[in-house]
């Protein structure tokens, strides 16, 4: 399986565990959402892409809706683990944490045309599928609260005249909005989107960042 070029379904193993089989079907669903969109993706498409029967798909997920819910849950966990994990690994400095937050959004694990297209396909149905919003909202709120706290700490450290709440939401919108530009492929690529996010940080928090990275800790 590759993120570059055409996705190739893994060889089917008769002895695959329940978890492996479900993951195989979720990966095939991501492929089909990216290729066909939400409405045109069918159980038959997913089964064929995974090299399995429709009966196997129905056995594991019962319906197309259950399969799509599982796919959204998988993409959500992957995104949350990436963002919160990177922040935790960054250490106690708020500047390092915010830099890590930006990096996480454009990591090649989560920021690929294939996965971004699947996200767009699923979120395009959010108005008609309130359960999608219900499943995702607590996670989004938790992440934005972390981001607000980081911005509050940077404001205190640097003496900036900013609204941490507004800056947090603005930066979150910039990073997630850049995904759409990356998805279009002929607009900007992943590396360029990351560079833009870093430049934004250097302008908003100049005492903490330069475009190439966080500055040394401020002396008091």
Look up the CATH number of the domain holding residue 152: 1.10.357.10
Asked, for residue 19, whether it belongs to a domain, the answer is no
Phi then psi dihedrals of residue 209, to 5 deg: -135, 150
* pLDDT at residue number 12: 47
Domain, as residue range, for 133: 64-214
Tokens matching residue 179: 């995904």
* pLDDT at residue number 17: 83
For the chain, which ranges sit under pLDDT 50?
A: 1-6, 11-12
Asked, for residue 146, whether it belongs to a domain, the answer is yes
Work out whether strand 213-214 and strand 209-210 pair parallel, antiparallel, or are unpaired.
antiparallel
Measured CA angle at 158 (ends 153, 162), to 5 deg: 75
Asked, for residue 194, whether it belongs to a domain, the answer is yes
Asked, for residue 9, whether it belongs to a domain, the answer is no
Partners of residue 214 on adjacent β-strands: 209
Asked, for residue 84, whether it belongs to a domain, the answer is yes
* pLDDT at residue number 14: 55
Q: Which residue has the tokens 């941490």?
A: 164
Asked, for residue 3, whether it belongs to a domain, the answer is no
* pLDDT at residue number 132: 62
| Number of domains comprising the chain | 1
Q: What is the CA radius of gyration of the chain?
A: 20
The rounded distance, in Å, linking the Cα atoms of 196 and 124 is 26
Measured CA angle at 76 (ends 144, 200), to 5 deg: 40
pTM over 0.95: no
* pLDDT at residue number 217: 82
Measured CA angle at 85 (ends 95, 214), to 5 deg: 20
Asked, for residue 68, whether it belongs to a domain, the answer is yes
Asked, for residue 30, whether it belongs to a domain, the answer is no
- Name the burial class of residue 135, with classes exposed (0-12), middle (13-18) and buried (19+) by CB atoms within 10 angstroms of its CB: middle
* pLDDT at residue number 16: 67
Assess contact for 41 and 32: CB atoms under 8 A.
Answer: yes
Partners of residue 210 on adjacent β-strands: 213
């Amino acid at each position: 399986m590759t993120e570059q070029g055409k996705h190739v379904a893994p060889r089917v193993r008769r002895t695959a565990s329940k978890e492996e089989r479900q993951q195989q079907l979720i990966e095939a669903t991501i492929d089909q959402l990216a290729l066909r969109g939400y409405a045109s993706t069918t159980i038959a498409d997913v089964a064929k892409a995974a090299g399995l029967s429709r009966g196997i798909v129905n056995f594991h997920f019962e319906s197309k809706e259950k399969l799509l819910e599982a796919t959204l849950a998988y993409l959500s966990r992957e995104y949350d683990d990436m963002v919160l994990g990177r922040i935790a690994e960054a250490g106690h400095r708020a500047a390092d944490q915010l830099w890590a937050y930006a990096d996480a959004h454009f990591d090649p694990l989560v920021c690929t045309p294939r996965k971004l297209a699947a996200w767009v396909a699923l979120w395009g149905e959010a108005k008609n599928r309130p359960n999608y919003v219900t499943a995702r909202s607590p996670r989004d709120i938790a992440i934005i609260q972390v981001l607000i706290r980081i911005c509050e700490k940077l404001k205190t450290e640097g003496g900036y005249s900013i609204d941490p709440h507004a800056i947090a939401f603005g930066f979150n919108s910039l990073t997630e909005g850049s995904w759409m530009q990356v998805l279009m492929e002929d607009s900007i690529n992943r590396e360029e989107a990351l560079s833009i996010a870093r430049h934004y940080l250097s302008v908003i928090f100049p005492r903490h960042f330069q475009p190439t990275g966080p500055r040394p800790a401020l002396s008091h």
